[in-house]
Amino acid sequence: MRRCWLLVSIFAAPAQAMAQATGPATPTPPVATLSLSEALQQAHNNNPLYLQRLNNAATARWSVRNAYGQLLPSAQVSGGMDYTGAGRANFGQGFTQQTSAVVGSNWNAGFSWQLDGARLVAPKESKANQRATESEISSEESNLKFSITTQYLTSLQATAQVAVARQQVERNQNFLDLANAKYRVGQGTLIEVRQAEVQKAQSDVALLRNLQAESEAKLELFRRIGVAPPIEITEIALSDSFPVSQPAFDLNQLLETAKEQNPGLKALEDRRKAASVGVTSAKTAFLPSLSARAGWGGFTQRQTDENLLLRQSLGGAQGAAANCFTNDSIRVGAGLGSALPPGADCNSTSGLNATGTALTPQTRSAILDQNNVGLFDFDKQPFGASLTVSLPIFTGFGRSLRLQQARELEQDAEESVRAQAIQVRTDVHSRYLALATNYKAIAVQASSRDAARDQLRLAQDRYRLGSGTALEVSDAQNAVQRAEGDYVNAIYDYHKSLAALEAAVGRPLRQ
């Protein structure tokens, strides 16, 4: 429950002016108040549309960090294990070889670095997009402020209309009491009593409808804030009041201020600047790029069938000994002499025993020791590095297409800025005229209200003295209700037009 932002205040007693009203005319004393500043603060914290826009700020900040990070080398580390089952390896042309199951592991570590025009321009482009995102958030904040302020005024207007309706109920009740009194002393007719009863019933219904409109206006205000009412809507009163003062604004100054400070226009201008940087980024695709890589690695490999390994090693050693005998015989026959060391023969140099039918114990032990490796007894691979410079010659017009698309985005953004500038200028001018008109309308409606009240007073006096009719009183009461309602509407039309002018200009105008 978000009640902490409601300024709770218990009213001492309902207004004495409403004491005679019954049924729907009895007001519910409010137990909490809400100011415009509190409503705006809560809207900043809870309005879903504004929070959605606000979420874009974090992404924009990380985009800038990522753009700078792309200028630095990237590092990769990997490791893994592998297994190959036993079977027969086929080398083609009928040559096959029995193989043992093999268990191995490996690791690799390296750095890579790439530099091209797009990466060099990326930080500038990301910063431009970040500024555009922040401007769009400011524009959404301005729209939210205007929406909350307008609905707050609408709720106050509905509350004022309820007061007008209550006053009309009170007048009709007095009229009904007077008609009954005159009828009891024989100075009035039953028709006048029934007419007064109809008037009273109609004013009761009008009050009910105004109460409904007031509750709906407050509910809409809380919807725009983004929260549910913490208590009954009839128990919440709006505490702010807005004075009426004669507008003294200079139109040309307002137009210049709006050109510089209107949030929507600034957001589109920043988006246009970001699109312009995008064109520069697209042009860099025609420039060469540079890339560099460096890495280290290691691996292990162990055959699980040691007997098969020894048999294959024996076969290899016997083949080497046979080649040795052949080559040595050729050398001796040619008179070149033996290439073997003194006291050595081909069997011993190939790791075979004297008969050449088996491996020597030393050779067997060396082969088994070499095969007996753990998963982390890596054989290191040599360090490797590469440096590459590339310049695409033809890419199927892909670079030209991207450049044209970037230019179209820039041109579209420029037209959007121009259209918004015209719209802002039109809005400021029209709302400036509306403000002046609504201010003058207040004086006209005040005179009309005073005249209607004077008409009602005269009609009531004539009816009490017996020289007037109930119809005159009824018409005068209806005229007063319309005049008072029109006066309330004129007041809040002025405040709403001032809020609209502030939204168009982009800054507060109230003193």
- Sketch out the chain's domains with CATH numbers: 7-66+119-288+397-505 (1.20.1600.10), 73-115+289-390 (no CATH)
pLDDT in tens, 341-370: 776 777 777 778 877 778 888 888 888 888
CA dihedral 494, 500, 501, 502 (to 10 degrees): 110
Nearest to 468 by CA among 182, 174, 180: 182
pLDDT in tens, 80-120: 998 888 777 666 666 677 778 888 899 999 999 999 999 99
- Residue 489's pLDDT is 97
* Residue 463 predicted with pLDDT over 70: yes
- Residue 28's pLDDT is 61
- Residue 511's pLDDT is 65
Reported confidence tier of residue 16, pLDDT bands at 50, 70, 90:
very low
- Residue 329's pLDDT is 81
Ramachandran class of 506: left when φ > 0, alpha when ψ lies in -120 to 50, beta otherwise: left
User: Could you say which DSSP state residue 23 is in?
Assistant: G
Of the spans 28-32, 92-96, 99-103, 472-476, which averages the highest pLDDT?
472-476
DSSP H helices, 47-189, are: 48-69, 117-184
* C-alpha 142 chain-centroid distance: 16
- Residue 10's pLDDT is 27
Using CB atoms within 10 Å of the CB of residue 192, give its burial: 0 to 12 exposed, 13 to 18 middle, 19+ buried: buried
* Residue 7 predicted with pLDDT over 70: no
Reported confidence tier of residue 24, pLDDT bands at 50, 70, 90:
low
Q: Percentage of the chain surpassing pLDDT 70?
A: 91
pLDDT in tens, 246-293: 999 999 999 999 999 999 999 999 999 999 999 999 999 999 999 999
- Residue 4's pLDDT is 40
- Residue 309's pLDDT is 78
Residue 511 vs residue 230, higher pLDDT: 230
CB atoms within 10 A of CB 392: 12
Q: Which two tokens stand for residue 434?
A: 């509306």
Considering the entire predicted model, what is its pTM?
0.78
What is the average pLDDT value for the chain, to the nearest integer? 88
Q: Which amino acid is at 10?
A: I
CA dihedral 20, 26, 29, 30 (to 10 degrees): -140
* Residue 412 predicted with pLDDT over 50: yes
Poorest-pLDDT segment among 152-166, 273-287, 317-331, 493-507: 317-331
* Residue 25 predicted with pLDDT over 70: no
* Residue 2 predicted with pLDDT over 50: no
Q: Which amino acid is at 100?
A: S
CB atoms within 10 A of CB 196: 24
3-state secondary structure of 43: helix
User: How far apart are alpha carbons 49 and 313 in whole angstroms?
Assistant: 75
